């Protein structure tokens, strides 16, 4: 018979191993948002992302990185420019590991010199925001959109659902998983790239997801079908799923020419 200390050590090993396997079974995501004030900053960040950052991420083993910009109908009403960078990772620690890899990448340092070595009086951005997400259990990995239209014509819809409390937040996540809202989106061909629980961000508790469409007409037609769907009417009327969203923040974006999708 094993001593109690060895039994406890074995139990702890199995527990931690199980946790590692559980974490490894779902993706983690980082969304970086560049807040820019003018065209010069936008060009600097575009050049950096296209010529230095994305190539370095590709060398590090991240094959597909999304870069998106807001769809704007009236440029005169825009108070700031934004660039979104979506990075899929295999683990939460992948964010720290990526920084270490970039620090050792000499080609990255050369290609990104203008951005990386910018002086304080000529910064390449106003602020850099970072959101970290864990993929939903029923959508554990990100998916590339199956679209045929040119990148510039596409409409990607990035939604953030904020909840009044942590409990309501978990209830909304459950609505996607157990309630099969994910299945509904899939059946109606919304081309969702990811669904994720925000585990670090400025609007918690919240979840985010990204659906993609050929164009605005295609987007509107999909949501019309969603609203009319019998299963959605049934799901949204269930008493257990009421009041779990206090704010819906919807952003329409399109992929840049150098985005991987």
Which pLDDT tens digit goes with each residue over 36-65? 999 999 999 999 999 999 999 999 999 999
Q: Among the ranges 2-6, 20-24, 124-128, which has the highest mean pLDDT value?
A: 124-128
Whether 232 shows a pLDDT value over 80: the answer reads: yes
Element (H, E) at 198: strand 194-200
Over range 156-177, report the average pLDDT. 98
Whether 2 shows a pLDDT value over 70: the answer reads: no
Could you give the CA distance from residue 69 to residue 161 in angstroms, rounded to a whole number? 20
Residue 17: burial class (beta carbons within 10 Å; 0-12, 13-18, 19+) = exposed
What pLDDT sits at residue 74?
Answer: 77
Average per-residue pLDDT for the chain: 92
What pLDDT sits at residue 13?
Answer: 42
Residue 48: burial class (beta carbons within 10 Å; 0-12, 13-18, 19+) = buried
On whether the CB atoms of residues 41 and 81 are closer than 8 A, the answer is: yes
Three-state DSSP state, 79: coil
Q: Tokens 């779902």 — which residue?
A: 26
DSSP assigned state of 234: H
Query: What percent of the chain clears pLDDT 90, i.e. is strictly above it?
Result: 88
Closest CA to 42 of 53, 51, 34, 33: 34
Could you give the CA distance from residue 214 to residue 154 in angstroms, rounded to a whole number? 5
Element (H, E) at 84: strand 81-89
Could you give the CA distance from residue 191 to residue 211 in angstroms, rounded to a whole number? 6
What pLDDT sits at residue 24?
Answer: 52
């Amino acid at each position: 018979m094993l001593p109690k200390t060895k039994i406890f050590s074995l139990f702890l090993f199995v527990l931690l191993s199980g946790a590692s396997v559980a974490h490894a079974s779902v993706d983690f995501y980082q969304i970086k948002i560049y807040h820019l004030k003018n065209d010069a900053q936008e060009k600097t960040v575009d050049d950096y992302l296209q010529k230095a950052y994305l190539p370095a991420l590709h060398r590090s083993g991240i094959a597909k990185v999304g870069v998106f910009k807001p769809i704007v109908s009236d440029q005169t009403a825009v108070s700031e420019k934004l660039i979104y960078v979506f990075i899929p990772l295999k683990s939460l620690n992948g964010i720290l590991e990526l920084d270490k890899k970039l620090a050792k990448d000499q080609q990255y340092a050369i290609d990104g010199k203008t951005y990386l070595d910018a002086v304080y009086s000529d910064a390449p951005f106003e602020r850099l925001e970072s959101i970290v997400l864990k993929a939903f259990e029923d959508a554990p990995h990100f998916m590339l959109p199956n679209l045929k239209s040119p990148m510039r014509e596409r409409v990607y819809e990035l939604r953030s659902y904020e909840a009044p409390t942590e409990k309501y937040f978990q209830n909304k996540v459950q609505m996607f998983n157990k309630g099969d809202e994910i299945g509904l989106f899939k059946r109606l061909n919304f081309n969702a790239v990811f669904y994720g629980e925000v585990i670090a961000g400025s609007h918690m508790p919240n979840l985010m997801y990204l659906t993609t469409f050929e164009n605005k007409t295609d987007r509107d037609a999909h949501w019309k079908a969603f609203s009319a769907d019998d299963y959605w009417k049934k799901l949204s009327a269930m008493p257990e799923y009421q009041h779990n969203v206090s704010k819906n923040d919807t952003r329409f974006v399109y992929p840049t020419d150098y985005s991987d999708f």
